[in-house]
Structure 1
Amino acid sequence: MPFVGGHPVLDFVNTVAWRLDPARTADRVQGPQEWVHWAAATGMLTADRAEALLRAETADSTTEAATEALVGLRATLSSVLDALVDDEKPPAGAWEALRQALVLARADATLPPGFPLQWQPGTDRLDDLRHALALRTEDLLSDDRLSRIRRCAGPGCGWFFLDRSRSGTRRWCSSTDCGNRDRAKRHYTRTRQHG
Protein backbone atom coordinates (compact mmCIF):
# COMPACT_ATOMS: atom_id res chain seq x y z
CA MET A 1 0.00 0.00 0.00
CA PRO A 2 1.46 3.38 -0.94
CA PHE A 3 2.11 5.99 1.73
CA VAL A 4 1.64 9.35 0.04
CA GLY A 5 0.21 11.43 2.89
CA GLY A 6 3.47 12.54 4.44
CA HIS A 7 2.02 11.94 7.91
CA PRO A 8 0.67 8.77 9.57
CA VAL A 9 -2.74 10.34 10.23
CA LEU A 10 -3.19 11.22 6.56
CA ASP A 11 -2.01 7.76 5.51
CA PHE A 12 -4.50 6.32 8.02
CA VAL A 13 -7.40 8.10 6.31
CA ASN A 14 -5.91 7.11 2.95
CA THR A 15 -6.42 3.42 3.76
CA VAL A 16 -9.71 3.92 1.91
CA ALA A 17 -8.95 4.08 -1.81
CA TRP A 18 -11.17 6.05 -4.17
CA ARG A 19 -12.91 7.52 -1.14
CA LEU A 20 -14.94 10.01 -3.21
CA ASP A 21 -16.08 7.53 -5.87
CA PRO A 22 -18.71 5.17 -4.37
CA ALA A 23 -18.43 2.81 -7.34
CA ARG A 24 -14.70 2.29 -6.75
CA THR A 25 -14.27 2.82 -2.98
CA ALA A 26 -12.09 0.11 -1.45
CA ASP A 27 -11.05 -0.42 2.16
CA ARG A 28 -7.39 -1.40 1.89
CA VAL A 29 -6.91 -2.40 5.55
CA GLN A 30 -9.39 -4.80 7.12
CA GLY A 31 -9.17 -6.72 10.35
CA PRO A 32 -6.90 -6.45 13.37
CA GLN A 33 -3.89 -8.22 11.86
CA GLU A 34 -3.88 -5.92 8.83
CA TRP A 35 -4.08 -2.88 11.10
CA VAL A 36 -1.07 -4.10 13.07
CA HIS A 37 0.88 -4.68 9.84
CA TRP A 38 -0.16 -1.22 8.63
CA ALA A 39 1.02 0.38 11.90
CA ALA A 40 4.38 -1.35 11.59
CA ALA A 41 4.73 -0.25 7.94
CA THR A 42 4.08 3.39 8.89
CA GLY A 43 6.53 3.26 11.77
CA MET A 44 3.88 3.73 14.42
CA LEU A 45 4.85 0.34 15.85
CA THR A 46 8.27 -1.25 15.87
CA ALA A 47 8.54 -4.67 14.28
CA ASP A 48 8.99 -6.23 17.74
CA ARG A 49 5.91 -4.51 19.18
CA ALA A 50 3.88 -5.42 16.08
CA GLU A 51 4.87 -9.07 16.41
CA ALA A 52 4.00 -9.09 20.12
CA LEU A 53 0.66 -7.44 19.39
CA LEU A 54 -0.12 -9.95 16.66
CA ARG A 55 0.51 -12.76 19.11
CA ALA A 56 -1.63 -11.08 21.79
CA GLU A 57 -4.61 -10.13 19.62
CA THR A 58 -7.25 -12.78 19.18
CA ALA A 59 -10.58 -12.71 17.41
CA ASP A 60 -12.63 -11.81 20.45
CA SER A 61 -15.15 -9.06 21.11
CA THR A 62 -12.45 -6.71 22.47
CA THR A 63 -10.47 -6.96 19.23
CA GLU A 64 -13.61 -6.53 17.14
CA ALA A 65 -14.57 -3.45 19.16
CA ALA A 66 -11.05 -2.02 18.79
CA THR A 67 -11.16 -2.59 15.02
CA GLU A 68 -14.57 -0.92 14.75
CA ALA A 69 -13.27 2.01 16.82
CA LEU A 70 -10.29 2.42 14.45
CA VAL A 71 -12.61 2.46 11.44
CA GLY A 72 -14.84 4.96 13.26
CA LEU A 73 -11.89 7.24 13.95
CA ARG A 74 -10.89 7.01 10.29
CA ALA A 75 -14.40 8.11 9.20
CA THR A 76 -14.32 10.95 11.72
CA LEU A 77 -10.96 12.17 10.48
CA SER A 78 -12.12 11.92 6.89
CA SER A 79 -15.00 14.31 7.65
CA VAL A 80 -12.82 16.70 9.63
CA LEU A 81 -10.11 16.81 6.96
CA ASP A 82 -12.66 17.27 4.15
CA ALA A 83 -14.01 20.29 6.02
CA LEU A 84 -10.50 21.63 6.55
CA VAL A 85 -9.48 21.48 2.88
CA ASP A 86 -12.88 22.85 1.82
CA ASP A 87 -12.36 25.74 4.28
CA GLU A 88 -15.56 24.83 6.12
CA LYS A 89 -16.45 24.24 9.73
CA PRO A 90 -16.17 20.52 10.61
CA PRO A 91 -19.49 18.71 11.09
CA ALA A 92 -20.48 18.95 14.76
CA GLY A 93 -20.78 15.17 15.18
CA ALA A 94 -17.33 14.52 13.70
CA TRP A 95 -15.77 17.30 15.77
CA GLU A 96 -17.29 15.91 18.97
CA ALA A 97 -16.16 12.38 18.05
CA LEU A 98 -12.60 13.68 17.53
CA ARG A 99 -12.75 15.50 20.86
CA GLN A 100 -13.89 12.31 22.59
CA ALA A 101 -11.11 10.32 20.89
CA LEU A 102 -8.57 12.79 22.27
CA VAL A 103 -10.03 12.61 25.77
CA LEU A 104 -9.85 8.80 25.70
CA ALA A 105 -6.34 8.83 24.24
CA ARG A 106 -5.01 11.12 26.96
CA ALA A 107 -6.77 9.15 29.68
CA ASP A 108 -5.07 5.98 28.46
CA ALA A 109 -1.64 7.51 27.75
CA THR A 110 1.18 8.38 30.11
CA LEU A 111 3.20 11.55 30.42
CA PRO A 112 6.94 10.83 30.60
CA PRO A 113 8.95 12.22 33.52
CA GLY A 114 11.16 14.29 31.21
CA PHE A 115 11.25 16.19 27.95
CA PRO A 116 9.87 16.34 25.37
CA LEU A 117 6.55 16.81 27.10
CA GLN A 118 4.37 14.55 24.97
CA TRP A 119 1.64 12.03 25.73
CA GLN A 120 2.82 8.45 25.19
CA PRO A 121 0.17 5.87 24.28
CA GLY A 122 0.80 2.22 24.99
CA THR A 123 1.65 -0.37 22.37
CA ASP A 124 0.13 -3.46 23.94
CA ARG A 125 -3.39 -3.41 22.48
CA LEU A 126 -5.06 -2.54 19.21
CA ASP A 127 -6.86 0.28 21.04
CA ASP A 128 -3.43 1.82 21.69
CA LEU A 129 -3.06 2.35 17.93
CA ARG A 130 -6.30 4.33 17.90
CA HIS A 131 -5.09 6.43 20.82
CA ALA A 132 -1.74 7.02 19.14
CA LEU A 133 -3.50 8.16 15.96
CA ALA A 134 -5.76 10.51 17.93
CA LEU A 135 -2.74 12.08 19.64
CA ARG A 136 -0.90 12.38 16.31
CA THR A 137 -4.01 14.06 14.90
CA GLU A 138 -3.90 16.64 17.67
CA ASP A 139 -0.25 17.26 16.84
CA LEU A 140 -0.95 17.58 13.08
CA LEU A 141 -3.93 19.91 13.47
CA SER A 142 -2.14 22.12 16.00
CA ASP A 143 0.85 23.42 14.07
CA ASP A 144 1.86 25.05 10.80
CA ARG A 145 1.35 21.81 8.83
CA LEU A 146 -2.39 22.48 9.10
CA SER A 147 -2.20 24.94 6.20
CA ARG A 148 -0.32 22.38 4.08
CA ILE A 149 -2.96 19.64 4.14
CA ARG A 150 -4.44 19.02 0.69
CA ARG A 151 -6.84 16.56 -0.93
CA CYS A 152 -5.90 14.99 -4.25
CA ALA A 153 -7.48 16.71 -7.24
CA GLY A 154 -7.82 13.38 -9.07
CA PRO A 155 -11.51 12.65 -9.74
CA GLY A 156 -12.81 10.33 -7.05
CA CYS A 157 -9.45 9.85 -5.32
CA GLY A 158 -9.91 11.84 -2.09
CA TRP A 159 -6.52 10.97 -0.59
CA PHE A 160 -4.96 13.58 1.66
CA PHE A 161 -1.33 14.68 1.71
CA LEU A 162 0.98 17.31 3.16
CA ASP A 163 1.98 19.71 0.40
CA ARG A 164 5.69 20.19 1.00
CA SER A 165 6.32 21.71 -2.41
CA ARG A 166 8.13 25.04 -2.35
CA SER A 167 5.30 26.76 -4.22
CA GLY A 168 2.54 25.06 -2.20
CA THR A 169 0.72 24.02 -5.36
CA ARG A 170 0.88 20.22 -5.30
CA ARG A 171 -2.39 18.85 -6.71
CA TRP A 172 -2.17 15.07 -6.71
CA CYS A 173 -1.57 12.33 -4.19
CA SER A 174 1.06 11.04 -6.59
CA SER A 175 2.28 12.47 -9.86
CA THR A 176 2.76 8.91 -11.12
CA ASP A 177 -0.81 7.89 -10.33
CA CYS A 178 -3.52 10.55 -10.33
CA GLY A 179 -1.12 13.04 -11.95
CA ASN A 180 -0.52 10.71 -14.88
CA ARG A 181 -4.26 10.07 -15.23
CA ASP A 182 -4.89 13.81 -15.39
CA ARG A 183 -2.12 14.39 -17.94
CA ALA A 184 -3.38 11.48 -20.09
CA LYS A 185 -6.93 12.83 -19.95
CA ARG A 186 -5.81 16.33 -20.98
CA HIS A 187 -3.68 14.88 -23.80
CA TYR A 188 -6.61 12.79 -25.04
CA THR A 189 -8.89 15.84 -24.95
CA ARG A 190 -6.36 17.96 -26.89
CA THR A 191 -5.79 15.31 -29.58
CA ARG A 192 -9.56 14.76 -29.98
CA GLN A 193 -10.11 18.51 -30.45
CA HIS A 194 -7.37 18.79 -33.08
CA GLY A 195 -8.00 15.45 -34.77
Structure 2
Amino acid sequence: MKPAKLLSSFAGIALASFASANELMATIYIQAVAASPVAPVPLAGLQYDIHAPSEAQVIAYEAPELPDDTKLVRVGVYDPAAKQWTSSTSVASVDNFDKGYSPALMLSVDPSGTPISVALRGVRIDAGQTRDFGPQAMVFVTAAGKQPDLNKPVVLSPEGKQVVPEEKSMFQKYWWVIALVVLMSVVGGGDEKK
Protein backbone atom coordinates (compact mmCIF):
# COMPACT_ATOMS: atom_id res chain seq x y z
CA MET A 1 0.00 0.00 0.00
CA LYS A 2 1.27 3.39 -0.91
CA PRO A 3 1.04 5.85 2.01
CA ALA A 4 -0.17 8.75 -0.16
CA LYS A 5 -2.94 6.69 -1.76
CA LEU A 6 -3.95 5.26 1.59
CA LEU A 7 -4.00 8.70 3.20
CA SER A 8 -6.12 10.19 0.42
CA SER A 9 -8.69 7.37 0.50
CA PHE A 10 -9.11 7.63 4.26
CA ALA A 11 -9.25 11.44 4.08
CA GLY A 12 -12.34 10.91 1.93
CA ILE A 13 -13.76 8.77 4.72
CA ALA A 14 -13.32 11.61 7.19
CA LEU A 15 -15.17 14.03 4.91
CA ALA A 16 -17.97 11.55 4.28
CA SER A 17 -18.49 11.12 8.01
CA PHE A 18 -19.73 14.71 8.24
CA ALA A 19 -22.46 14.02 5.64
CA SER A 20 -25.14 12.98 8.11
CA ALA A 21 -25.54 13.29 11.85
CA ASN A 22 -26.96 9.75 12.16
CA GLU A 23 -24.28 8.08 10.07
CA LEU A 24 -21.22 6.74 11.83
CA MET A 25 -17.90 5.58 10.48
CA ALA A 26 -15.49 2.85 11.49
CA THR A 27 -12.06 2.10 10.08
CA ILE A 28 -11.29 -1.61 9.95
CA TYR A 29 -7.63 -2.60 10.34
CA ILE A 30 -5.86 -5.77 9.31
CA GLN A 31 -2.71 -7.34 10.77
CA ALA A 32 -0.79 -10.35 9.53
CA VAL A 33 -0.48 -13.06 12.16
CA ALA A 34 3.22 -13.90 11.99
CA ALA A 35 6.16 -14.78 14.22
CA SER A 36 7.53 -11.24 13.91
CA PRO A 37 4.87 -8.67 14.84
CA VAL A 38 3.70 -6.35 12.07
CA ALA A 39 1.77 -3.15 12.73
CA PRO A 40 -1.94 -3.18 11.77
CA VAL A 41 -2.79 -1.27 8.59
CA PRO A 42 -6.16 0.14 7.45
CA LEU A 43 -8.21 -2.26 5.35
CA ALA A 44 -11.57 -0.57 4.88
CA GLY A 45 -13.78 2.26 6.01
CA LEU A 46 -17.41 1.45 6.79
CA GLN A 47 -20.20 3.99 6.95
CA TYR A 48 -23.32 2.93 8.80
CA ASP A 49 -26.43 4.16 10.58
CA ILE A 50 -27.58 2.26 13.67
CA HIS A 51 -31.23 2.98 12.72
CA ALA A 52 -30.74 1.44 9.25
CA PRO A 53 -27.94 -1.14 9.60
CA SER A 54 -28.84 -2.88 6.33
CA GLU A 55 -27.76 0.24 4.42
CA ALA A 56 -24.14 0.05 5.60
CA GLN A 57 -21.56 0.52 2.90
CA VAL A 58 -17.84 0.28 2.31
CA ILE A 59 -16.66 3.79 1.46
CA ALA A 60 -12.95 2.99 1.20
CA TYR A 61 -11.15 -0.28 0.64
CA GLU A 62 -7.49 -1.08 0.06
CA ALA A 63 -6.59 -4.68 -0.75
CA PRO A 64 -4.01 -5.85 1.77
CA GLU A 65 -0.40 -6.41 0.78
CA LEU A 66 0.61 -9.32 2.97
CA PRO A 67 3.90 -11.22 3.15
CA ASP A 68 3.94 -14.41 1.10
CA ASP A 69 4.23 -16.70 4.13
CA THR A 70 1.13 -15.20 5.82
CA LYS A 71 -1.67 -17.70 6.35
CA LEU A 72 -3.80 -15.86 8.92
CA VAL A 73 -4.81 -12.24 9.49
CA ARG A 74 -6.42 -10.42 12.38
CA VAL A 75 -9.15 -7.85 11.69
CA GLY A 76 -10.71 -5.32 14.05
CA VAL A 77 -10.95 -1.67 14.97
CA TYR A 78 -7.54 -0.31 15.97
CA ASP A 79 -6.45 2.97 17.57
CA PRO A 80 -3.03 3.87 16.11
CA ALA A 81 -2.49 6.68 18.65
CA ALA A 82 -2.93 4.36 21.63
CA LYS A 83 -1.47 1.40 19.71
CA GLN A 84 -4.21 -0.96 20.86
CA TRP A 85 -7.28 -2.70 19.51
CA THR A 86 -10.50 -0.92 20.51
CA SER A 87 -12.80 -3.78 19.52
CA SER A 88 -12.57 -7.50 19.80
CA THR A 89 -10.79 -9.00 16.84
CA SER A 90 -11.23 -12.11 14.77
CA VAL A 91 -8.74 -14.23 12.90
CA ALA A 92 -9.39 -15.14 9.28
CA SER A 93 -7.54 -16.99 6.56
CA VAL A 94 -5.83 -15.07 3.76
CA ASP A 95 -7.83 -17.31 1.39
CA ASN A 96 -10.70 -14.84 1.92
CA PHE A 97 -8.81 -12.44 -0.37
CA ASP A 98 -8.14 -14.98 -3.16
CA LYS A 99 -9.28 -14.50 -6.72
CA GLY A 100 -12.96 -15.35 -7.07
CA TYR A 101 -13.82 -14.18 -3.54
CA SER A 102 -15.18 -10.87 -2.34
CA PRO A 103 -14.51 -9.90 1.30
CA ALA A 104 -17.56 -9.35 3.49
CA LEU A 105 -16.87 -7.27 6.60
CA MET A 106 -19.23 -7.86 9.52
CA LEU A 107 -19.27 -5.18 12.21
CA SER A 108 -21.14 -5.56 15.50
CA VAL A 109 -21.97 -2.32 17.30
CA ASP A 110 -23.69 -1.44 20.56
CA PRO A 111 -26.92 0.65 20.57
CA SER A 112 -24.87 3.87 20.68
CA GLY A 113 -22.94 2.84 17.54
CA THR A 114 -19.60 2.00 19.17
CA PRO A 115 -17.90 -0.95 17.44
CA ILE A 116 -17.78 -4.13 19.53
CA SER A 117 -16.30 -6.66 17.12
CA VAL A 118 -15.32 -7.21 13.51
CA ALA A 119 -15.30 -10.38 11.43
CA LEU A 120 -14.24 -11.11 7.87
CA ARG A 121 -15.31 -13.79 5.45
CA GLY A 122 -14.76 -14.32 1.76
CA VAL A 123 -17.91 -14.72 -0.33
CA ARG A 124 -17.56 -16.65 -3.58
CA ILE A 125 -18.34 -14.48 -6.59
CA ASP A 126 -20.68 -15.92 -9.18
CA ALA A 127 -20.52 -13.69 -12.26
CA GLY A 128 -23.86 -14.99 -13.49
CA GLN A 129 -25.67 -14.01 -10.29
CA THR A 130 -24.23 -10.65 -9.32
CA ARG A 131 -22.47 -7.70 -10.84
CA ASP A 132 -21.25 -6.33 -7.50
CA PHE A 133 -17.78 -7.79 -6.98
CA GLY A 134 -16.56 -5.29 -4.39
CA PRO A 135 -16.31 -5.74 -0.65
CA GLN A 136 -19.58 -5.85 1.26
CA ALA A 137 -20.46 -4.43 4.68
CA MET A 138 -22.86 -5.87 7.22
CA VAL A 139 -23.64 -4.12 10.49
CA PHE A 140 -25.32 -5.82 13.43
CA VAL A 141 -26.71 -3.69 16.28
CA THR A 142 -26.83 -5.51 19.61
CA ALA A 143 -29.87 -5.30 21.85
CA ALA A 144 -30.55 -6.17 25.46
CA GLY A 145 -31.48 -9.80 25.91
CA LYS A 146 -34.77 -10.99 27.36
CA GLN A 147 -34.80 -10.95 31.13
CA PRO A 148 -35.96 -14.10 32.93
CA ASP A 149 -39.43 -14.19 34.42
CA LEU A 150 -38.86 -15.14 38.03
CA ASN A 151 -41.36 -17.00 40.18
CA LYS A 152 -42.72 -15.80 43.50
CA PRO A 153 -40.11 -15.55 46.24
CA VAL A 154 -39.79 -18.40 48.73
CA VAL A 155 -41.36 -17.57 52.11
CA LEU A 156 -39.43 -18.76 55.16
CA SER A 157 -40.58 -19.08 58.75
CA PRO A 158 -38.59 -17.44 61.59
CA GLU A 159 -36.88 -20.82 62.07
CA GLY A 160 -35.63 -20.71 58.48
CA LYS A 161 -37.93 -23.42 57.11
CA GLN A 162 -40.13 -23.04 54.08
CA VAL A 163 -43.70 -22.09 54.92
CA VAL A 164 -46.15 -24.41 53.17
CA PRO A 165 -49.58 -22.85 52.72
CA GLU A 166 -52.49 -24.88 54.06
CA GLU A 167 -54.68 -26.67 51.57
CA LYS A 168 -58.03 -24.90 51.12
CA SER A 169 -61.24 -26.85 51.48
CA MET A 170 -63.63 -27.23 48.57
CA PHE A 171 -66.00 -24.66 50.11
CA GLN A 172 -63.12 -22.12 50.45
CA LYS A 173 -62.14 -22.61 46.82
CA TYR A 174 -65.62 -22.57 45.21
CA TRP A 175 -67.77 -20.43 47.51
CA TRP A 176 -68.44 -17.98 44.71
CA VAL A 177 -70.04 -20.72 42.54
CA ILE A 178 -72.40 -21.69 45.37
CA ALA A 179 -73.28 -18.01 45.93
CA LEU A 180 -73.97 -17.53 42.22
CA VAL A 181 -76.32 -20.59 42.10
CA VAL A 182 -78.22 -19.37 45.18
CA LEU A 183 -78.50 -15.84 43.72
CA MET A 184 -79.82 -17.15 40.41
CA SER A 185 -82.40 -19.32 42.23
CA VAL A 186 -83.70 -16.43 44.30
CA VAL A 187 -83.69 -13.74 41.63
CA GLY A 188 -84.57 -15.86 38.64
CA GLY A 189 -87.72 -17.33 40.12
CA GLY A 190 -89.95 -19.41 38.01
CA ASP A 191 -92.61 -18.45 35.52
CA GLU A 192 -95.78 -18.92 37.54
CA LYS A 193 -99.03 -19.63 35.70
CA LYS A 194 -102.16 -18.17 37.08
Q: Under TM normalisation by the shorter chain, which class is it?
A: under 0.3
Quick check: which one's helix share is greater? 1
Whose relative contact order is higher, 1 or 2, with alpha carbons under 8 Å and at least 6 apart?
Answer: 1
Larger radius of gyration: 2
* TM-score, length-scaled by structure 1: 0.24
* TM-score, length-scaled by structure 2: 0.24
